[in-house]
Amino acid sequence: MSVSWDPDQYHRFKQQRAAPFRDLKRWLKVRPGLNAVDLGCGTGELTRQLADLLPDSQVLGIDTSAEMLSQSQAFERPGLSFRQQNLADVEGQFDLIFSHAALHWVENHPWLFARLWDRLLPGGQLLVQMPHNFDHLSHRLAADIAHTHFDLRSRVTEVLAPEDYADLLYHLGAQEFEVVLKVYPHVMTDAQAIVEWTRGTLLTAYLPQLSPTQQSEFLAIYSRRLGEQMPEKPVFYAFKRLLLQAVKL
């Protein structure tokens, strides 16, 4: 799937996207001298915040997007580095595998989670946040327009139900784990603000596959239909996210 990321567009809603990071931090088991990896680290801004919580640790951020990683230099420091790599190919053994808003871009979660579990050292922690909003109007509408107007494959999510992650973690042998589905409430100026939000993330799965004219067409249809169905100003945008943590004993 062709995906093109624009760090500036993504960070327009940085404040809203920081809330799940704060929630994940509460679960973080801080120990000195950890070997940690941030999968799908984006620009590395949150990777730096994570690294700063981990004394004397080695933290590696990996991401496939050259555009996102182009901003990561600003966050590098001794003990924190970045690499362009597919997270599914991550090698090595870690005390902490962290991922914030990225694993939903990778298919086959039963396979992925088993692979990540194998990469955890005994005592290691898996700490993950993923959007779980694919049934929201904003996401359903984008999938419908992509399919009906442009014959694109709908971005069918690989994200599983919360209980399926619990099941997965149990069968991987996790002795201690938590899986939480949380609604993050956002008050947006209007539906157009939601369009701008999704342009930074969800729509990167569709727009790069279209010509510039088609992209404008897509956005015009999406803005009109979302505006018709979410006409309030300001408008309430409920955004579900799944958070999980598990420790390998």
Ligand X SMILES: C[S@@+](CC[C@H](N)C(=O)[O-])C[C@H]1O[C@@H](n2cnc3c(N)ncnc32)[C@H](O)[C@@H]1O
Place of tokens 């990777």: 47
Q: Which residue is nearest to ligand X (CB)?
A: 42
Under the binding rule (CB under 6 A), the answer on residue 201 touching ligand X is: yes
Q: Contact region for ligand X (CB under 6 A) — 37-45, 140-148, 151-159, 227-235?
A: 37-45
Residues 53-92 vs ligand X: string with x where CB under 6 A? ---------xxxx--x-----------------xxx----
* Cβ-contact 19, 44 below 8 angstroms: no
Under the binding rule (CB under 6 A), the answer on residue 101 touching ligand X is: yes
Rounded to a whole number of angstroms, the minimum distance from the CB of residue 61 to ligand X is 8
Rounded to a whole number of angstroms, the minimum distance from the CB of residue 106 to ligand X is 5
Q: Contact region for ligand X (CB under 6 A) — 100-108, 134-142, 212-220, 232-240?
A: 100-108
3-state secondary structure of 74: helix
Tokens of 184: 């993050």
| Distance in Å from the first CA to the final CA of the chain | 36
Where b means 16+ CB within 10 Å and e means fewer, 227-237 reads beebeeeebeb
Among 34, 41, 195, 205, binds ligand X (CB under 6 A): 41
Q: Contact region for ligand X (CB under 6 A) — 94-102, 219-227, 231-239, 241-249?
A: 94-102
Reference 107, options 151, 160, 143; nearest CA is 160
Under the binding rule (CB under 6 A), the answer on residue 106 touching ligand X is: yes
Rounded to a whole number of angstroms, the minimum distance from the CB of residue 63 to ligand X is 4
Q: Which long-range contacts (CB under 8 A, 24 or more apart) does 150-154 make?
A: 150/206, 150/209, 150/210, 150/214, 150/218, 152/206, 152/209, 152/210
* Residue with Cβ nearer ligand X (41 or 247): 41
Reference 71, options 8, 18, 2, 15; nearest CA is 8
Count of residues near ligand X by CB under 6 A: 19
Residue type, 8: D
- Residues in contact with ligand X by CB under 6 A are 5, 40-42, 46, 62-65, 68, 86-88, 100-102, 105-106, 201
